[in-house]
Amino acid sequence: EAGVAQSPRYKIIEKRQSVAFWCNPISGHATLYWYQQILGQGPKLLIQFQNNGVVDDSQLPKDRFSAERLKGVDSTLKIQPAKLEDSAVYLCASSLRGTRELFFGEGSRLTVL
Amino acid sequence: GQNIDQPTEMTATEGAIVQINCTYQTSGFNGLFWYQQHAGEAPTFLSYNVLDGLEEKGRFSSFLSRSKGYSYLLLKELQMKDSASYLCAGANSGNTPLVFGKGTRLSVIA
């Protein structure tokens, strides 16, 4: 079974530029999450989708971050404009409806200079 | 919010046993996950405790006491490949997402 796919794996941008990350969850997984993991810390939830609807985006900095999952399958996370403190690994995870076990992608490492 | 506390770093010797503790506010979670994360890689699932007691899975065991807001991960017969970060994550009721601790970085030395 294919795992959670993410791209790009690495991205370096300058502050105030924009960036987009893409995630394709495991087939059949209705729930999709984006987590931000700053070096040396645990993952912090940015947004949770159930199919194409947002369940929780309370910790998403909406002035600069946006995410969508239009057809309820793959998802895009965008940052515009980026700040230095956005340097982190952006992890996408998915789970089956009604279960709590998360399956993570390999992450997209962002460096903002 | 709900706080999850874990030691930042631990060091243990190859072949030994190590216990990684995790404490959390008792008013929150109704289940506790442990994930392993090697440097530069994604977290991978290790265990899930929803009832009090010990769950054993090979060299790894996980314990939960809901009344005390306490869990631990026990790793036996340590191997060098066990060097990784171990993340404790709490599960609230319903469909709410997991809340992760900062992780414990374990170094296994010869």
A25 interface with B at CB cutoff 8 Å: no
CA of A81 vs chain B CAs: smallest distance (Å): 25
pLDDT digits (tens, 9 = 90+) for B54-92: 999 999 999 999 889 999 999 999 999 999 999 999 987
Best of A102, A106, A109 to disrupt the B interface (most B CBs within 10 Å) is A102
**What's the pLDDT tens digit per position in A46-66?**
999 999 899 999 999 999 999
The span from the CA of B7 to the CA of B5, in Å, is 7
| Contact A68/B at CB under 8 A | no
Residues 6 or more apart in contact with residue B97 via CB below 8 angstroms: A33, A45, A48, A55, A56
Give the model's pLDDT for residue B1.
46
DSSP class of B8? S
Q: How confident is the model at residue A1 (pLDDT cuts 50, 70, 90)?
A: low
